[in-house]
Amino acid sequence: MVDTALASLFAHFEQYIKLSTSLRDALAERMHLVTFKKGDLIHNADTICKESYFIQKGILRTYFLKDGKEITEYFVSENEWVNSPRSMIQQKVDIYFIDALEDTIAFKLKIHHLGYLFDNFPEMERYARLSMGSLFGHFMERITSLRFTTAKEKYDHFLTVYGDLYPRLPLGMVASYLGITQETLSRLRAER
């Protein structure tokens, strides 16, 4: 169980860097599997983010509150990292909450362990640089999509990018992610 989980974790890293045995060992020692139940709050915006999670199974959601309503910032699933970015980096509070949309298994990595890895394995810095770089493209696409597409096009784009996740997600959360109302999304869905 733990070994197959570790294997997929290592495979993820290997997409960006070559993993030395010593780095493998260092990672295995510091990343620990934790489980969440559907609905669990993983990170509260009131607190400073002290850990990152690498999802093994399940879906987590980052959201914030606007006028008392939960607005989805993004969804995270298998083989992706989550934390509250600015809170994590600058060690101050930020607006984001993280909760579990399904029963979830994840590796937990504490910030001081992450710091240790960065300080002792330059290839970890490279991994971070490269993996963040590939997120940039997604951000840019999303920004373009928000500026210049109709609700229908946003919905279609969402399906191509998150098609596998989509059936597992409540409608309202998808709507707030796309910046449209739930009613509009429901109507779009109906017309096909």
Partner DNA sequence: GTTGATTTTTGATCCAGATCAAAAAGTTAT
Partner DNA sequence: ATAACTTTTTGATCTGGATCAAAAATCAAC
* Residues forming the site for a copy of itself (CB under 8 A): 64, 66, 71, 73, 85-86, 89, 118, 122, 125-126, 128-130, 132-134, 136-137, 139-140, 142-144, 146-148, 176, 178-179
Tell me which of a copy of itself, DNA, none is bound by residue 171, counting a contact when its beta carbon lies within the kind-specific cut-off of 5 to 8 angstroms: DNA
Cβ-based burial of 24 (10 A; exposed 0-12, middle 13-18, buried ≥19) = middle
Residue with tokens 């997600």: 169
- Candidates 130, 140, 143, 171; binder of DNA (CB under 7 A) is 171
Q: How many CB atoms lie within 10 A of CB 132?
A: 11
Tell me which of a copy of itself, DNA, none is bound by residue 189, counting a contact when its beta carbon lies within the kind-specific cut-off of 5 to 8 angstroms: DNA
8 neighbors 80 (Cβ within 8 angstroms): no
Question: Binding to DNA by residue 187, rule CB under 7 A?
Answer: yes
The residue (of 7 and 146) whose beta carbon lies closer to a copy of itself is: 146
Contacts (CB under 7 A) with DNA, residues 132-161: 150-152
What are the strands of the beta sheet with 97-100, ordered from one edge?
41-43, 97-100, 60-66, 69-76
The residue (of 56 and 176) whose beta carbon lies closer to a copy of itself is: 176
Interhelix angle for 151-162 vs 182-190, to 10°?
80
